[in-house]
Structures are given as C-alpha cells and as structure tokens.
C-alpha cells in the first residue's frame, strides 16, 4: 500500500520461534489500513492467534518490527500499549463477582476516569450493544446468556475508546444462530465506529463475511494470501488457499459480491394507470410473458402476466411483488429472496425507486462476471461472457 499514513498497523518481517526451534510465525509482512477490519483465518496451529498476540505483545516477537500508528510497539511499555488496544477473546473473561457495569468500567477506572464520565461511557456502550443499562448494568455475568456476555466483552474492550480492537475467535463460543446475530450487530457497530480491527477465526465463512480484507495463513505460520474477500474466494493465490476456502467458494462468493447495475435485466414496464389493452400490447411487442408494474413515481407496485383479460386499467390486475432487494444487496441476498418467495425474478430498488430485476440467469452471469474480472484483473463491465447456445 502506498502511504504509510493510511496504515494503523504494520508488521514487517515479524516472526516467532519458540525455544527448541518450533516456528509459530514465519517472516510476516502485513498492513492493516486505518478503519478497516482484517480477518486472520487458517487451520489450527497456523500462527494466526500468535500473530494477534504479538501485536499487543502478549507474546513477544522473535524478529521484525510492529508499528501501531507509526510507533514501533516493540520499544513501547507493554502495559501502556495494551491499555490503548481493545482485546476480545472467545472465553470473554468477565469477572464473575463484579456487576456488568463494573466489568465494562475496568479500563476507564485504571486510566483514572472520574465516576460520572465512566458511568456515561458504560451506559453508552451497553445501549450500543442492545443491553439496556437499567436492566443489565447491575446484573452479574452468570445472569446473562452467552451472546449477552459476549456483547459485554466487546463493550469492555471498547470502553476506553481504543483506535485498535483485537478479537480472537470472539463469536466461537455461541450457537450458530446467536453467532450470526452477533456478527450482524458487530458489523453495524463497526460501520458507525470505524475502528481498526484484527479478528482471528478458523471459519472461512466468518472471515469473508466480516473482513474488508482476509489474510489466509497456512501451517507453519506462513501468510499464503491477503486480499479482499471476493478475490480470496474468486482467485485463490495457490492450491492451499483454494483447498482451504473450499470447492463451494463460488457459492460463498455470492455473499461478498454486490448487485451491480450491469447485472440487471430490464423487462417491459407498465404503469398502474395504463389500460390493460396497452399492457397486453407492450408485452406482446417485447415477446414477454409478464411486465413490471410501477406507479406514477416509478415505485414498484407488482407485475401483470400476458394472459390478463378484460378492460380497465392495470391497477385492477397487478399482482403484489414481495420478492425485492435493495440496491446495495449482495447476490446471496437476491438468491435467498428469490428462493424465499419461490419467485422467478427479484426486483432491485434504490429506496422506493425501481432499477431493474435479477433472474436466475442474470444472477449466475453476475457471479461469473465478478469471478472473471478478478482473475483477469479488469473491471466487471469489461468482461464479455461467452454464453452457451440452446440445447438441441
């Protein structure tokens, strides 16, 4: 990356070798841009957690240089360094005999904050985490669910408003449903706070779902690839990465591939005030079996089929359309909506304004275009897809 001023964390030649010669992390170069979330992913024993702990010097590196906002942290006081960095682990580590308020207030108290400032910060964070202070602040950890305790752990890590947040398998100790909910909540919080986050996980789905960039480690502590989620899934750097992300990486890539305007199909359009006769004529001229129905403001109102009969206007025959996604949705969102409503197409809306539709064929083409663009290093609009001819 050009311009180190855009980096919050920089690792240069960082390695860890234990007494006896065991190499946990090889010479590692890794840049973490300011305000981004970078996930470290790989099989057990590949050095990702060791790398995380070297950043805040819970483990001292054997070689290399680690910079935090331009400062070499290997020369800083380790205790003071850790007070500047939020740290969340899978086991959470809440103090069982202290209230939730006291747990979250741990670091502000160590930093000498006054009681009023501390309490205001605790209330603010608990509210952000969806834990109403009047209901949860005076409870004890054993009185909370696993997901609630994990949210308290994140609140405690954010209490002193650190610029950097390190997370080691933060959502690994809860069931899959709660895990997905926690991921969603954390992404929403991160969108607001824009912290620089390094998150360790062994789950490639979690890595690509959360990360702005994904760093894939292989056994022996070697960094195999660091790139955007879409490129890790669509253009693995080597055979190890390809095998690790899985043969179904194309399906996973749906979740990190946004809907693009060039993906949309434009079927015939009629308006609620049009006559049924005109609607039939529009569909016949387009050789289409159906048309999208819009109101006078180009807002989606449904669809009509070519077999509509009778007189009057379109408003009397329009069928409500529930299968739609916002313009910033992913291809996976579009596919899930299509399946949920058993629909042959989904509308794409920018607010209330209709933009076009995705069909199974155009959705597949969009995925192919995105993968090909990454493989060839070009923009998606520059990709020409070869479409097979009809079967005979």
In this structure, how many other beta carbons lie within 10 angstroms of the beta carbon of residue 308?
19
| Total number of domains in the chain | 2
Q: What is the pLDDT, as a whole number, of residue 389?
A: 44
- The residue-averaged pLDDT of 110-127 equals 92
Left (φ > 0), alpha (ψ -120 to 50) or beta: where does 109 sit?
A: alpha
Distant-in-sequence, close-in-space partners of 215: CB < 8 Å, separation ≥ 6: 30, 38, 39, 40, 41, 48, 223, 225, 226
Q: Is there a single domain that holds both residue 121 and residue 233? A: yes
Distant-in-sequence, close-in-space partners of 367: CB < 8 Å, separation ≥ 6: 250, 253, 254, 257, 331
- pLDDT > 90? residue 75: no
Look at residue 184 and tell me if it is in a domain.
yes
- Cβ(118)–Cβ(161) below 8 Å: no
Query: What rounded mean pLDDT belongs to the chain?
Result: 88
- Cβ(200)–Cβ(48) below 8 Å: yes
Q: Alpha carbon of 351 to those of 116, 191, 270, 329, 347: distances in Å?
A: 42, 20, 20, 12, 12
For residues 222 and 331, what is the distance between their CA atoms, to the nearest angstrom? 32
Q: Is there a single domain that holds both residue 153 and residue 211? A: yes
- pLDDT > 80? residue 201: yes
Kindly report the CATH number assigned to the domain that includes residue 112. Answer: 3.40.50.300
- pLDDT > 50? residue 384: yes
CB crowding 185-211: b at 16 or more within 10 Å, else e:
bbeebbeeeebbbbbbbbebebbbbbb
For residues 286 and 274, what is the distance between their CA atoms, to the nearest angstrom? 16
Q: What is the pLDDT, as a whole number, of residue 392?
A: 37
Query: What pLDDT band is residue 6 in, cutting at 50, 70 and 90?
Result: confident
- pLDDT > 50? residue 23: yes
More confident residue, 256 or 162: 162
Q: Is there a single domain that holds both residue 222 and residue 277? A: no
For residue 258, give the DSSP letter: B
Least confident of 35-49, 146-160, 166-180: 166-180
Q: Is there a single domain that holds both residue 237 and residue 342? A: no
Q: What is the pLDDT, as a whole number, of residue 5?
A: 55
Q: What is the pLDDT, as a whole number, of residue 1?
A: 43
Q: Is there a single domain that holds both residue 177 and residue 249? A: yes
Domain range for 151 is: 4-256
Report phi then psi at 316, rounded to 5: -80, -15
User: Pick from 256, 273, 298: which residue ends a domain?
Assistant: 256
What is the SS3 assignment for 105? coil
What is the SS3 assignment for 178? helix
Query: What pLDDT band is residue 175 in, cutting at 50, 70 and 90?
Result: confident
- Paired sense of beta strands 23-33 and 7-17, if any: antiparallel
Report phi then psi at 95, rounded to 5: -80, 115
pLDDT, tens only, 353-376: 999 999 999 998 888 888 777 777
- Percent of the chain predicted with pLDDT > 70: 95
pLDDT, tens only, 301-333: 999 998 888 888 999 999 998 999 999 898 989
User: Pick from 204, 237, 256: which residue ends a domain?
Assistant: 256
For residues 208 and 263, what is the distance between their CA atoms, to the nearest angstrom? 22
Q: What is the pLDDT, as a whole number, of residue 387?
A: 53
pLDDT, tens only, 248-264: 777 778 888 889 898 99
- The residue-averaged pLDDT of 53-78 equals 91
Q: Alpha carbon of 216 to those of 60, 184, 193, 219, 338: distances in Å?
A: 22, 22, 26, 10, 32
**On the CB side of 172, how many CA atoms lie within 13 Å of its CA?**
16
Give the residue among 352, 350, 371 at the shortest CA–CA distance from 264.
350
Least confident of 72-76, 140-144, 152-156, 240-244: 72-76
User: Pick from 256, 278, 298: which residue ends a domain?
Assistant: 256
Give the residue among 195, 148, 190, 178 at the shortest CA–CA distance from 34.
195
Query: What pLDDT band is residue 125 in, cutting at 50, 70 and 90?
Result: very high
Q: Is there a single domain that holds both residue 265 and residue 252? A: no
Q: What is the pLDDT, as a whole number, of residue 2?
A: 46
Look at residue 16 and tell me if it is in a domain.
yes
- The residue-averaged pLDDT of 61-88 equals 88
- pLDDT > 80? residue 185: yes
Kindly report the CATH number assigned to the domain that includes residue 325. Answer: 3.10.580.10
Q: Is there a single domain that holds both residue 131 and residue 23? A: yes
For residues 11 and 308, what is the distance between their CA atoms, to the nearest angstrom? 66
């Amino acid at each position: 990356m050009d311009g180190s001023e855009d980096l919050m964390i920089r690792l240069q030649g960082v390695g860890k070798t234990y007494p006896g010669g065991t190499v946990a992390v090889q010479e590692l170069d890794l840049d973490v841009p300011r305000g981004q979330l970078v996930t470290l992913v790989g099989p057990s024993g590949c050095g990702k957690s060791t790398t995380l702990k070297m950043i805040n010097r819970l483990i001292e590196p054997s070689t290399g240089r680690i910079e935090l906002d331009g400062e070499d942290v290997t020369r800083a006081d380790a205790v003071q360094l850790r007070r500047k960095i939020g740290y969340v682990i899978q086991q959470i580590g809440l103090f069982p005999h202290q209230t939730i308020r006291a747990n979250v207030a741990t670091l502000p108290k160590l930093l000498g904050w006054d009681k009023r400032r501390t309490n205001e910060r605790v209330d603010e964070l608990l509210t952000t985490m969806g834990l109403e202070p009047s209901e949860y602040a005076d409870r004890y950890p054993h009185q909370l669910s696993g997901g609630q305790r994990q949210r308290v752990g994140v609140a405690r890590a954010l209490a002193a408003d650190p610029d950097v947040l390190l997370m080691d398998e933060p959502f690994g100790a809860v069931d899959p449903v709660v895990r997905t909910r926690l991921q969603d909540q954390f992404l929403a919080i991160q969108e607001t706070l824009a912290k620089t986050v390094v998150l360790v996980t062994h789950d490639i789905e979690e890595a690509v779902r959360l990360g702005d960039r994904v760093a894939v480690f292989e056994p022996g502590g070697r960094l195999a690839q660091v790139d955007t989620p879409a490129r890790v899934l669509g253009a693995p750097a080597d055979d190890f990465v390809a095998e690790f992300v899985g043969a179904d990486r194309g399906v996973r890539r749906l979740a990190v591939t946004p809907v693009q305007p060039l993906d949309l199909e434009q079927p015939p359009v009629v308006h609620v005030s049009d006559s049924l006769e005109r609607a039939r004529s529009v569909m016949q001229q387009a050789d289409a079996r159906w048309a999208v129905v819009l109101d006078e403001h180009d807002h989606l109102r449904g669809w009509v089929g070519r077999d509509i009969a009778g007189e009057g206007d379109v408003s009397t025959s329009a069928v409500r359309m529930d299968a739609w996604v916002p313009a910033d949705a992913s291809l996976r969102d579009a596919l899930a909506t299509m399946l949920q409503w058993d629909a042959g197409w989904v509308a794409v809306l920018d607010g209330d304004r209709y933009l076009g539709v995705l069909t199974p064929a155009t959705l597949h083409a969009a995925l192919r275009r995105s993968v090909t663009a990454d493989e060839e290093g070009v923009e998606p609009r520059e990709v020409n897809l070869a479409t097979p001819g009809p079967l005979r």
